[in-house]
A and B are shown apart, each in its own frame.
Chain A
């Protein structure tokens, strides 16, 4: 009985804290997370592409607008930037500006064990 009450209280506290989180970042964290495939976890690249974590917000927006209008040359980013709205670009800029810059963890490589 007491345990059940504790559970309900916890569920409320957690739901409240997560809804507060949703209100800051709402949709943008899922969009930003899709950039991770090329720019690394939380924008911390393992190399080969620019790191986006802690990038200056204005610089970020300038680059993205440049990819969009063609004034900044790119291999692939124009195909992404052109599909995003200015509001999304600004939200992404603010999101990545707030990500801590970190050395990404090494990949957990292993030799092939032959089981599959």
Chain B
């Protein structure tokens, strides 16, 4: 199980003085110890991470790097590959393939000396600090839950269980390809209907980006086809002005946006949806289900905000119910956009705090980080929303600093920067 760890400290996050220190202490670091000592407990303990998405994998890398290898990190992840949700809407638009968004885990795993278990966590024994896998158990000193979101399909009237030919494609992978194939086989003149749920969901601008991508494909290949957005919310949830520029500009007559359009009844056989205002029949139907914290957080009983999301302390990302269980990424209740950039920033703050706590130091009481979310409106042009967030101890929340904002309009130049964002965040997470 023990992986061959390489000391990466010198290349990862350090000032010159730190660098010198890491060379001096490099010899002292856990994995540099002679074999007799290596068999013993790692000096700063053992962290088990559930989920190798943007949040979990980033936490693993930085825990190892910033502790100079003095923490043992075990990741539990059932999937063999990392598939990026960011840019998966562009697969629907036709300007990316899923292959371009698929990555292996081996490089990070080897390079940062991560112990890896290809399995699913099915239960958490909080009292005994153990997680149950389908095969065996693991003990931890601290646990990080980073399971992303779960989908509450039973909340959709008429659906109750997932339906094979109505993909949500809200986790990139097979369903993304299935939805693309449905669009390809749909006749010109057909209708693509997408529903957006109320309440927090992952990637607030994501559905509107998807609408633009499908409309972009229709304009090129099925010019008589339409996109109908049935949004259960009162209004566009993110980058409203910018998306309206596209809906009323390039996609005028292609995209119809209907607000306050909660699903009252869905007939899955005929793909017909009834709302307060109308009955809409789809040729291709994409129901984005209501979301909540990943199943493992529910099983652990840590989804204490509306039974959906997990409340955490933003200094350490410890659960408000369980001090030695940290939760990061889409599963937490933060009042912040559930984005990949956010997930990686939370992971870094959490990693630094865990190292401090395990070393007997106080964590940084005032975390600050930058966040940006780009959306593509076609194959070339993108736009951003960007803010710095800082911890406000009085509000006990991450609050956006003055000076943030959105692009004036989508542009090709920002399309190039959005691509650079994707490659750099993939590199930060996966190398």
Listed stretches B99-107, B139-147, B222-230, B291-299; interface member: B99-107
Cα(A48)–Cα(B12), bound, Å:
21
Least CB distance, A41 to chain B, in whole angstroms: 5
Q: Say if the beta carbon of A55 comes within 8 Å of chain B.
A: no
Q: Which residues, 390 to 409 on B, are CB-close (under 8 Å) to A? A: 390, 400-405, 407
Taking a contact as CB atoms under 8 Å apart, the answer to whether A116 and B174 are in contact is: yes
Pick from B40, B44, B83, B400: contact of A14, CB under 8 Å = B44
Q: Which residues, 18 to 60 on A, are CB-close (under 8 Å) to B? A: 18-22, 24-27, 29-42, 45-49
Pick from B67, B102, B171: contact of A18, CB under 8 Å = B67
Pick from B18, B43, B426: contact of A7, CB under 8 Å = B43
Closest chain B residue, CB of each to CB of A26: B364
Pick from B67, B107, B386, B390: contact of A105, CB under 8 Å = B107
Chain A interface residue bracket vs B: 35 or more
Chain B interface residue bracket vs A: 35 or more
- Provide the B48-82 mask, 1 if CB < 8 A to any CB of A, else 0: 00000000000000100011101000000001110
Residues of A within 8 A of B79 (CB): 115-116
Taking a contact as CB atoms under 8 Å apart, the answer to whether A25 and B14 are in contact is: yes
Taking a contact as CB atoms under 8 Å apart, the answer to whether B361 and A82 are in contact is: no
Known A-B contacts A37-B341, A75-B407; A18 and B424 likewise in contact (beta carbons under 8 Å): no
Cα(A89)–Cα(B323), bound, Å:
33
Q: Say if the beta carbon of B13 comes within 8 Å of chain A.
A: yes
Cα(A76)–Cα(B11), bound, Å:
27
Q: Say if the beta carbon of B352 comes within 8 Å of chain A.
A: yes
Least CB distance, A116 to chain B, in whole angstroms: 4
**Is chain A's binding surface mostly helix, strand, loop or mixed?**
helix
Of B11, B28, B101, B388, chain A has the most CB atoms within 10 Å of the CB of B388
Least CB distance, A25 to chain B, in whole angstroms: 6
Taking a contact as CB atoms under 8 Å apart, the answer to whether A110 and B103 are in contact is: yes
Residues of A within 8 A of B248 (CB): none
Cα(A37)–Cα(B44), bound, Å:
28
Taking a contact as CB atoms under 8 Å apart, the answer to whether B427 and A107 are in contact is: yes
Cα(A27)–Cα(B364), bound, Å:
6
- Provide the B15-33 mask, 1 if CB < 8 A to any CB of A, else 0: 1111101000100111001
Q: Say if the beta carbon of B384 comes within 8 Å of chain A.
A: yes
Known A-B contacts A41-B12, A46-B423, A83-B388; A108 and B106 likewise in contact (beta carbons under 8 Å): yes
16 of the cross-chain contacts (CB-CB < 8 Å) are A14-B29, A14-B70, A15-B360, A17-B28, A18-B359, A27-B364, A29-B13, A30-B345, A36-B424, A37-B428, A40-B428, A49-B421, A76-B407, A79-B403, A80-B372, A108-B105
Q: Which residues of A contact B (CB under 8 A)?
A: 3, 6-7, 10-11, 13-15, 17-22, 24-27, 29-42, 45-49, 68, 75-76, 78-84, 88, 94-95, 98, 100, 102, 104-105, 107-116
